[in-house]
Structure formats: C-alpha cells, structure tokens
Copies of this chain bind each other. A is one copy, B any other.
Amino acid sequence: SSEILTLASSQRGMRVFDCRPESKQVTEQVVEATGKKLEGFLQDVSKAFSISGKETFVLTTTDRRVIDDNVFDELEDGITLQLLRSADQELPAATQEHIKYVPHYYTLVQSGMYEYYASEGQKSLPYAFAELVDNSLSATASKEGLRTIEIRLLFDESQGKHAAVVLDNGCGMTSKQLNNWAVYRLSKFNRDNSTIHSDHSGYVRPAPVPRSLNSDISFFGVGGKQAVFYIGQSARIITKPAASPDVHEFVMSKEDFERKEKNKEDIYCGVIRNRKPGDCAHIVVEEELFLQALIAEEEDKESFTAVVITGIQSEHITYLKQHFDLWTRELAHIYHYYVHGIHGNDMRQSAKNVQKESNVDIQISLVEKSGKQSRRVNLRNVDNDMQTLYINSTSASFEFRAQAHGEATVEGLIRYHPFLYDRETYPQDPYASPGPADEEDDECEVFNPVGRGKRPIFECFWNGRLIPYTTVAEFEWCACPKKAGSVPAECYNRISGVLFTNDCFPVSTNKLTFMDLELQLRDRETIFTRVINGQDQRVKIQREFTTWMKECHEQYDKQIKFMGFQGVTTRSDI
C-alpha cells in the first residue's frame, strides 16, 4: 500500500482495472501518464491490455465519469480508473481503489473549540490554561527543588504580537518527545518514547500517594493541542531536556496548515529546530521581539519547556485582562492541593506549624503596554478560592475512604461549617451570581435552606486536580434522613465535602467532567469506610457519621434558642 507514495509528485501513474464484460477476470495495471496527453495514454492502455484497434472502450473514474481531455489533465497520481465497454455497464467483478483518509487538520486546530465550551461558555479559558499547567505538573513531578510553573501574558504591543507563555522547569522533551507532543491522541499509554525501538518503555502507573497528588495528569494525548488552539492560532514549543546541550523548537500553526493544504503538501510534516540555548538567530521579525527575551533566559536553565501561544483571539485577551482575579482564582481552585499540599490552605494559626510546604509554585503574570502596571499573582497567595474558604470555616472534619472495583479508590472528607450566633458560616462563592433556582425559592422564605442549601456536597479531584463540572450531591449515609433523628435537619446544610479519586475513574478528554463517578460510587459493591488518623474504622459509616454530626452540632453550633416559653407579657412601659 506504500506504492502510491513512492511515485514522486511530478509523476502520474493510473491504476487501471480491466472491467470489460468478456474479460475472464478483473486485472489491474499501473499505466504511466507522466507528460502524456489523453491520446497517448489511451494508446498505452490499449497496449497494456492488448486491446485491438477495432475494439471500442471507455475509461472512467470510479464514479463513472468518462475521461475526456479536460478530466484527464486533472487526474491525480495514483487514481483508480475503470476500463469499460460502455460507461454504464455493470462491473463483472469488484475493483479495488486505494484511498487515503488522513484526518483533516481541523482535528488539531478545532479540537479545543468545542471541547472547552461545553455548554457553560464563559469560564472555559482557565480550563484551557489548566491543560498546559497539567503538562507542567507532570513534567516537574520528579523535581527535587522548587517546581516553578509560570503563565505569562505578554500583552505589551511594543514587544511584538500578543502572546501567552506557559513555562516550567520540568524535564523538558527530547526532539523525539517533542515530535510526539504534536501527535494527536498519542499518549503515554500508546507511545514509544525512544528514537530506538528496542528500548520501548511502557507506562508504569505511579504508586498510590495521599489524595492522589501524583502529578500524573497527562492522559489522552490531546490536552496541549486542544488548549493552544482554543486559546490562539499558533503554538511554539521550546524545550530542553536535562541530559542534552540542545534546545528543541517546533511551531505548529493554523496558517501553516492552511498553506500546506493549499500547496498540496503533506499536512502533518514539520520541522524541529535543534539549536544551542540562547540562540535566537531565527527570530528576525519585529512581531516576535518578545521571543528574544524568552530565549535569552534559556542559558541559565538545566531543563525547561515553554509553550508560546500567539494569534490569541481578541475576546480572550479582553477576558484575560478584565477578569484577571476571577480566572486566576479558578486556577487556584483547580490546583489547590498541589499548591498548598494535602491539607490545603489552612490559614489559621493552629495549622501554621504542622503544615508541610508544597514545592509547586504557580505564578501568573500579565504585562500590558509599558506605563501600565503589570499584574502578578502566585496561586499560593490566593485566599478566596472555594477550597480556601471551606477549609478556613471548618470546625471539624470527617474522613472516609470509598473502595470501588479493583484499584479504584476515593479518599473523602466532609467538613462542618457551624452556625455561629446569628449566621451560617458555610462559605458563599464571592463571585457567584444567584441562580434562577435560588430566586424561585422566594415563596417559602421561612423554610429556605441556608448554608449549603440544595447544592451538591462534594467537589471532586482527579489525581489531585479539580474536575470542575462534576459534583456529587451526597451519599446515602450522609444525607439528611427522611425522619427527624437526633441531628436537626438544618445541620445537614452545614457540611461541605471533597472527593479525591485516582485515575481509575475516567474523566472526559477536556477534564471538565467525570464520566461515571457518581454512578460507580452509588454501586452497591462500593464500600465506604470511616478513616481516623489514617486508620480504617471497621464500623458502620452511617452511624459513625450521625454521631459525628451530633457532636459537631452540640460542640460548634452557637445558636440562640428561645426555650421554656412562659406566655406573652405586654410591655406597656415602652
């Protein structure tokens, strides 16, 4: 089947099938058409199939278009033609037509477009950046010192076109790995990492760690590509692996694809530039001035990867500037436990000493035109993401573990946010717009749940990273019982929760939703166990939970209750 490929582009060979009714069997021959007119080509066909001068025949394409002078000139190399007695005769036997069906380049260019929208529209941009941060977390996973990940928005026009750079001090990529970066759907599960075949290294799942913070967040072989083409129209990857003295650089852009399509070149051929660190001889146009500064930084680095996105949609630029706090906070939410460590961002004095610092450092900066102050935030300093709010308004927590099939485990945590004097302490999302559901509740104001209300209890983290659109409402054992029990119903509105799953629970390719987490956890086979100080408790979880709730209520809720009603006294003295 590689036959078609071996004909150079200037050559034209046609695969001609003899389909005349009297032919004993359908034979196939490649007839050369290079430099010929139809006349000459037909003579060659006659010769090839020993057709006598008296015999009439027609040549057609496989959609039965008769080959005349005009059609002939446009036929492409390798095309299949049928030699027939008449244009509408039936085929005595089947012909075999070789085709190619390489995916269209929209596979890459449009991949993110519809992935990140996913019906919620507005907040999608931070999730695209998250794919690049995911890759940087994976790449820095085995780093000993500080793992630095930077998102730099270079919106200063004096430095060239607008660019978004995601930069890390991770392991970098060899040129082979950089080549693999570009292959859509090639993932750690189905790739061969080496230039040399014999050292094919299969993927090994990392050992279990608390809360599955294993940095192993690369999965489908699509994230980086979807993200860059959702954000912009061109991606330049610049990378250096630790062992090598060379930097590797590769550009993939929509414009490039369009050019190759127009020129009928192979769409998925490209060039990696191998060069020494700091060498920016290839950066010549003013538009790319900002790259020189970036490349100059290379010389001090052992290894790194930079993803440089240009051609950024103007709506995105507006959004990134105007909602800087909002989207950086969303990233702080997604990576909360990577940035703050397994116990999260507990800012209360009591926690300050026990906390083990995380070595993940995620910085975001936005540089606008000179004169305007640039903005900079370290995700560690974000103090109003939802997890931070939950953690700092908790008075007690209840840990558990869920064991589904095989190695599929979930660590869970429920936090109690008490009622203090005159108000619920269950945190409210400072940026949330009141949903339609809340408004409709107006009619029965008195019964309106406070605290969490009807929102789901659990936010869900997959290999330590938030999957933002999936929440789990509750489990049977932690739901408010139908019949009034020893714990007042409103206490059940005072809990929030987190689930930490490993990657045995599949997520969608855009990492916005779990595929069936709730379904799997509701399965009767799934076993829930309370955990205290890391030890599984062999007791009924529902009873444990109810007891815990009762204690929380009694110990932490400071509710003013009017008791012992003795009648109405009219104060005529006021």
Contacts and interface: CB of A to CB of B under 8 A. Distances in A.
A266 B62 contact: no
A357 interface: no
Most buried by B among A95, A101, A470: A101
Contacts of A182: 99, 101
Contact of A103 (B183, B271, B444): B183
Contacts of A119: 469-470, 508, 513-516
Contacts of A103: 102-103, 107-108, 183-185, 268
A62 B274 CA distance: 7
Given A62-B246, A62-B274, A454-B437, A265 B1 contact: yes
A268 B100 contact: yes
Q: Which 8 A-B pairs have the closest CB atoms?
A: A101-B182, A94-B275, A103-B184, A119-B513, A63-B174, A106-B185, A104-B185, A444-B447
A442 interface: yes
A427 to B, nearest CB: 20
Interface residues of A, number: 108
A208 interface: no
Interface in A444-476: 444, 447, 449, 454, 469-470, 473-474
A74 B197 contact: yes
Given A2-B8, A5-B5, A95-B274, 10 more contacts: A63-B241, A90-B246, A97-B273, A100-B266, A100-B269, A103-B108, A104-B185, A114-B220, A114-B506, A447-B447
A436 B61 CA distance: 61
Contacts of A4: 269
Contact of A71 (B2, B196, B272, B515): B196
A573 to B, nearest CB: 37
Contacts of A195: 61-63, 65, 79
A266 B103 CA distance: 13
B6 A2 contact: no
A226 to B, nearest CB: 12
Interface of A: 1-2, 4-6, 8-9, 61-65, 70-71, 74, 79, 82, 88-108, 110, 114, 117-119, 121-122, 174-176, 179, 182-187, 190, 195-198, 220-221, 241, 243-246, 248, 250, 265-266, 268-276, 279, 281-282, 436-437, 440, 442-444, 447, 449, 454, 469-470, 473-474, 479-480, 482, 489, 506, 508-509, 513-516, 519
Given A107-B103, A271-B97, A118 B513 contact: yes
A427 B279 CA distance: 70
Contacts of A473: 436
A271 B17 CA distance: 14
Given A61-B195, A121-B515, A175-B62, A183 B274 contact: no
